[in-house]
């Protein structure tokens, strides 16, 4: 599919055998929150830079009502003498993911702080990450790890109901991005068709040249 589809390339190799890349962009849509966070935390501690996009599409297991009640109970937890001292109740999906990952990392040490600096989190897919290859984490995908009959909660909806105000803005920007991605994919297909046709049309003319190049080892 075109670039809007979640990328079939998996992050599984990184969970079992460390494969360093300059940057890994994870499409978080339909990933289970805790499972995703544990994989991210381990890779951050190992030195990998990670960018998480479409965090509003993350899911939490359990019904929506139960998860909302849990969050509202969490909101009641505060410093009695001065609430400004925390704990802070983040509403945005990206910040919720960030906090879950932080809980799996010794963030008060230099090593942990350096690991958290390697993590970036976003709602939607802002530039320049909309044109980069995105991967998924099979160990955390809902379709693989959660039975079809089980209830789950989409993080974007939960955030909207507890104070996150930017769901409409993100949806509008995502719609525009998907249109651009679809147009780009159509152009790429057209270019590919032209290339294939050109190769077919010139195959006879270049037969002799290609045979010479093969003999020299330039063509496989």
Can you tell me the mean pLDDT for 65-87? Answer: 96
- By the 8 A CB rule, do 101 and 40 touch? yes
Structure tokens at 23: 């940057």
* Candidate from 11-20, 48-57, 60-69, 190-199 with smallest mean pLDDT: 11-20
State the pLDDT at residue 13.
47
| pLDDT category of residue 7 using cuts at 50, 70 and 90 | very low
CB atoms within 10 A of CB 65: 10
Confidence of residue 11 (pLDDT cuts 50, 70, 90): low
Query: Range with the lowest mean pLDDT among 11-25, 97-111, 120-134, 195-209?
Result: 11-25
**pTM for the full predicted model:** 0.83
Question: Is 147's pLDDT higher than 90?
Answer: yes
17: Cβ–Cβ under 8 A, 6 or more apart, which residues? none
Q: How confident is the model at residue 126 (pLDDT cuts 50, 70, 90)?
A: very high
């Amino acid at each position: 599919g075109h670039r809007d589809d979640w990328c079939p390339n998996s992050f599984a190799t990184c969970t079992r055998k460390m494969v360093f890349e300059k940057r890994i962009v994870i499409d978080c849509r339909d990933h289970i929150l805790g499972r995703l966070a544990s994989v991210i935390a381990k890779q951050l501690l190992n030195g990998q830079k990670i960018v998480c996009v479409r965090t509003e599409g993350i899911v939490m297991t359990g019904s929506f009502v139960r998860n909302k009640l849990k969050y509202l109970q969490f909101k009641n937890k505060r410093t009695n003498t001065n609430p400004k001292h925390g704990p802070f109740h983040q509403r945005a999906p990206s910040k919720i993911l960030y906090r879950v990952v932080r809980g799996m990392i010794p963030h008060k040490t230099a090593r942990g702080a350096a690991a958290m600096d390697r993590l970036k989190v976003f709602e939607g897919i802002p530039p320049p990450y909309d044109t980069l290859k995105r991967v998924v984490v099979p160990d955390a995908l809902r379709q693989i790890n959660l039975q079809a009959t089980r209830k789950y909660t989409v993080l974007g909806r939960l955030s909207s109901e507890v104070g996150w105000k930017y769901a409409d803005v993100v949806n509008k920007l995502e719609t525009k991005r998907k249109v651009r991605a679809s147009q780009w994919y159509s152009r790429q297909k057209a270019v590919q068709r032209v290339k294939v046709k050109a190769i077919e049309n010139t195959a006879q003319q270049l037969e002799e040249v290609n045979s010479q190049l093969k003999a020299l080892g330039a063509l496989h």
